[in-house]
Amino acid sequence: MKKMEQMYEGKAKKVFATDDPGLVLVDYKDDATAFNGLKKGTIAGKGAINNRVTNHLMKLLEKEGVPTHFVEELSDRETLVRRVSIVPLEVIVRNIAAGSLSKRLGLPEGTKLSKTVLEFCYKDDELGDPMVNRYHIAAMGWATEEEMDLICRYSLKVNDVLTAYLRDLNIELIDFKLEFGKTADGTIVLADEISPDTCRFWDSTTHEKLDKDRFRRDLGGVEDAYHEIMKRLMGE
């Protein structure tokens, strides 16, 4: 497998073509942004941690029946994944109110939701990733009703698997963001990353934040939080 030209550079990752048209290489960066790129910084070691944490969780999810884009970890920061066209949606799964939901509905952070909440945002930085519903998604042709049924089913399954897995590590899964892709043959698979950048992780006992909110909110101890998550998940 040969790393070839860069196809795309996002805020936290670069994507490279390979000599296999069905595979691309993802390269994780230490760059961090928040508030749609308004706040910028670096989190030392983040790229390697997010790469390893994502792959660890993707493997667990595959084993539990959720198809993912994961193929092979190549190095500390680089992973081979299936080439997909990304469904242009961020799927947000919430168990406990925090962040934008707390703000929008006036719910104190930490309020348990009586039922898991799914939200969809249209991936468009210029528009600020606006929240949309299934009518918008169908009308705009971003995904079919059948694809959305599958995406919702997989998202709830990811929530069940990760919530139980993290509970044993004394981590509460507050909320998280998923992205899905479509392979050349039209199969929907889980794509992108699952990391402290894209999840809210609280220590179950102390409720200490162990995720990117430490960067977003200038709470300090950002690197320590990322390391703590890697240590609890992977023992190092």
Site for ligand ASP contains 133 (CB under 6 A): no
Cα four-point dihedral sign 140, 122, 187, 93: negative
Give the tokens for residue 200: 């809210």
Question: Which of ligand ASP, ligand TMP, none lies near 35, with the C-beta cut-off 5 to 8 A by kind?
Answer: ligand ASP
Q: Give the CA angle between residues 8, 14, 18 to the nearest 5°.
A: 75
- What is the DSSP secondary-structure string of 170-195? TEEEEEEEEEEEE-TT--EEEES--S
- What is the DSSP secondary-structure string of 10-72? -SSEEEEEESSTTEEEEEE-SEEEETTTTEEEE-TTHHHHHHHHHHHHHHHHHHTT--BSEEE
Chain residues in the site for ligand TMP (CB under 6 A): 92, 98-101, 175-177, 198-200
Question: Which of ligand TMP, ligand ASP, none lies near 34, with the C-beta cut-off 5 to 8 A by kind?
Answer: ligand ASP
Question: Which of ligand ASP, ligand TMP, none lies near 23, with the C-beta cut-off 5 to 8 A by kind?
Answer: none
Site for ligand ASP contains 10 (CB under 6 A): no
Give the nearer residue to ligand ASP in terms of CB position, either 32 or 189.
32
Between residue 162 and residue 221, which ones bind ligand ASP under the rule CB under 6 A?
A: 212, 216
Site for ligand ASP contains 13 (CB under 6 A): no
Query: Mask: binding to ligand ASP, 24-63, rule CB under 6 A, as x and -?
Result: ---------xxxxx--------------------------
Give the tokens for residue 73: 């970890």
Give the nearer residue to ligand ASP in terms of CB position, either 34 or 60.
34
- Pairing state between β 23-28 and 188-191: unpaired
Min dist. Cβ of residue 91 to ligand TMP (A): 9
Min dist. Cβ of residue 197 to ligand ASP (A): 6
Please, how many CA atoms are within 13 Å of residue 64, restricted to the half-sphere of its CB?
18
Contacting residues toward ligand ASP, per CB under 6 A: 11, 33-37, 212, 216
